[in-house]
Amino acid sequence: MCYQLESIYYMIRAKVFPIKTYREDLSPYWQVDDHKNITNILEIILGETKAYVFFEKHVSDLHSYVRHKKRLREEEAARLFAQIVAAVQQCHENGLILRDLKLRKFVFTDKERTKLKLDSLEDATVLDNEDNDLMSDKHGCPAYVSPEILSAIGTYSGKAADCWSLGVMLYTMLIGRYPFHDTQPAALFGKIRRGHFSIPNSLSSRAKCLLKTLLRREPSDRLTAEQILGHPWFRNCANKFSWRSDKSMSDQLVPEFDFPKVLED
C-alpha cells in the first residue's frame, strides 16, 4: 500500500511505500528505459519503515480533460493518442503489461495540455519472459476491460488486452462516451463480450478504421502498439500537428466518476 503526498511549493510529488516492499512495488518503473511519455522516478529517500519516492508533479489527467471538452477534434486526439501509444509501445517492448489502462492513467505535464505521460505503473505486470505475454489474472477497469479477460477460464495475451483498452480510450476521446456502457455490471460485460458498438458518421473513415482494428473481439486480429503508430490516421493528421512516430516518443458523456477496480482474483 502506498500513500501520495503533494507539495504546492515544489514541482514534485511523493508516494510513500513500505520499506519492505518498495523495490517490488517500483519494479515496473525500473523495467522501462527513460521515456518522455512515461513518468520517471526523480529520487528515493529511505526511512526506517517507509520509502519516499519522488516524481514530477503533473497538471491534470486526461479523463478530466476529455470530460471537460466533451470530445476532442481528430487532430488534437491524434496528437495526444500518439503519445499514449508511444508509452504503451515502450512498455510492451520492455516486457511490461499495463493491465489497468484508462484515460485517468495519463497526465498532462504542461499547462497547455499538450504533453502526456503515463502515470502510476504500480499496477503493471513485469513479464518473466518477454516473448510470452500470456496472463490468467482478471484485473482492470470494467469500462476498459477486454472480452477475453471476462472469459471464465484460460489465459489471454496481456499486450492484446492493453490494445483493446487503447481502443476504448480513443473511442472515448473522439466521441465523448464509452463504447460499452451500462449501469449494471452484468449487462456491461455482456455488451463487451458481444463487441457490438456504433461509430458516428461524423468521424473520418481512417478514424473509424483505426477504432475497428482495435476493438476486435479476437485478440490476434487487433493491431499491436507498434502497428497503431503506423496507421494512416496519424499520417492524415500529420500536417495539422507536430508529431513523429518514434520510440522516444448510450449517449452518456464521460462520467465524472471513475469505475472502481474489480475483476481481481
Task: Tell me which residues are annotated as active site.
Answer: 100
Amino acid in position 162: D
Determine what percent of the chain falls in helix, strand and coil, rounding each to the nearest 5: 40, 15, 45
Asked if 238 and 256 count as a contact pair (C-beta separation under 8 A), the reply is no
Q: Please write down the long-range contacts of 131-136, taking CB distance under 8 Å and 24 or more positions apart.
A: 133/92, 133/97, 133/157, 133/158, 133/159, 134/158, 135/97, 135/99, 135/161
Q: Which residues pair with 38 in a beta bridge?
A: 118
CA distance 33 to 11: 22
CA distance 264 to 149: 11
Q: Which grid coordinates are listed for 143?
A: 469500462
Residues in the chain: 265
